[in-house]
Amino acid sequence: MTKTLSTAEAEKLFTFENVGASLKELETPVPIIDFDIMLANLIRWQKHCDEIGIANWPHIKTHKLVPVAKLQMALGAKGLAVQKLGEAEVMAAAGLKELLLTFNVVGESKIARLAKLMRDTNIAVVADSMEVVAGLDEAGKRAGRKLDVLVECDTGMGRNGAQTPADALKLAQVIDRSEHLTFGGLMTYPPAGKRESVGTWLAEAKQALARADLPAKRISSGGTPDMWKKEGLTDVTEYRAGTYVYNDRAIVRSGAAAWKDCAETVLATVISTPTPERALIDAGSKALTSDLLGLEGYGLVHGLGDALVYGVNEEHGYINVAKSAAKPKVGDLVKVVMNHVCPVNNLFDKVVFVRGDKVLGAVTVDARGKVH
């Protein structure tokens, strides 16, 4: 049964810094997150995972916030997915011990950091080569305990990972023979829209492993764009989604969310209106990112009739207001729905939580810059 928290109970996990009571008191550009929309997103996804019998392992790389991670766990998540050791270290320091690191650990200093994390957490990791496995075995040796390792599988994304089910089996056997490692299962990040073919790939790998007496206890999949689709999940035991916590323009395009589900926007100030067709805001690539994700422009402003942020410099955003019924004036505040929310949160020291236009307060982005 899905755990429920009231809004008041959820808010108790946060310590809000006073930055004013209204949006007009905020310095821009700044990410603002509607608390109630975020909470609804988290509850809806956790309920879905519970209903279909898959463990929720949310990816914290989107929000990078300890209180949001604690909220996800309080609602019923089984653990947290992290992309880098730095993120794992931040979560571990906050007492969050159930972690899955979904990025290859390579290099002496990182092996040492992983060994230290192993002494304080139940972290599991991934690997896609014998070279990576050798380093993980060394980490296990230094930590004095066995380390669970999932084989990362390239199921069509064209990134890293075992290229075939046979390759996955071979690497699982190497892990199983390693003195300080335990074969934990399979992990993949599938391409959007390919759930059925990915399911076939995973089923073949699972069967090959079973024949070799190496059962895949965990089969971890992920991705927000396809999170609500049920096909291809027969063998999946857990799911990693990150962007769903806030959603963004790309997720709305994918059909996984509606505009009303977008909890986060970048609040910006109009700093110039040089022509009737163009307005300039104080949010450029250093606030909105230059990540297009195949979309036209860098974000939308619903308050100006879905006006497009058609260009960015480092500090300037260019909005096409030619078709906006109400023309913006210098000093006006606008909310930009960005293309890709994940890198935006890594650009700011703090984000501000709101309820509508009421400001709840600012929160430090705990794992900001933890990209190593």
Q: What are phi and psi of 298, to 5 degrees?
A: -120, 5
Name the residue range of residue 115's domain: 35-247
Q: Are strands 350-355 and 30-34 parallel, antiparallel or unpaired?
A: parallel
Instruction: State residue 1's pLDDT score.
Output: 62
In a domain, 196, yes or no: yes
In a domain, 91, yes or no: yes
Write the pLDDT tens digit of every residue in 103-127.
Answer: 999 999 999 999 999 999 999 999 9
Domain count, the chain: 1
Quote the pTM value. Answer: 0.97
User: Span 21-29, mean pLDDT?
Assistant: 98
Write the pLDDT tens digit of every residue in 214-239.
Answer: 999 999 999 999 999 989 999 999 99
pLDDT exceeds cutoff 70 at 90 = yes
CA distance 9 to 12: 5
Instruction: State residue 76's pLDDT score.
Output: 98
Write the pLDDT tens digit of every residue in 30-68.
Answer: 999 999 999 999 999 999 999 999 999 999 999 999 999
pLDDT exceeds cutoff 80 at 2 = no
**146: Cβ contacts below 8 Å, ≥ 6 apart:** 140, 180, 181, 182
Instruction: State residue 3's pLDDT score.
Output: 78
The answer to whether 156 touches 126, Cβ cutoff 8 Å, is no
Q: Of the candidates 340, 291, 283, which has an alpha carbon nearest to the alpha carbon of residue 27?
A: 283
Question: In CATH, what number is assigned to the domain containing residue 89?
Answer: 3.20.20.10
**324: Cβ contacts below 8 Å, ≥ 6 apart:** 304, 305, 307
In a domain, 222, yes or no: yes
Amino acid code (one letter) for 313: N
In a domain, 83, yes or no: yes
In a domain, 283, yes or no: no
Instruction: State residue 230's pLDDT score.
Output: 87
pLDDT exceeds cutoff 70 at 366 = yes
In a domain, 299, yes or no: no
Amino acid code (one letter) for 59: H
In a domain, 27, yes or no: no
pLDDT exceeds cutoff 90 at 4 = no
In a domain, 52, yes or no: yes
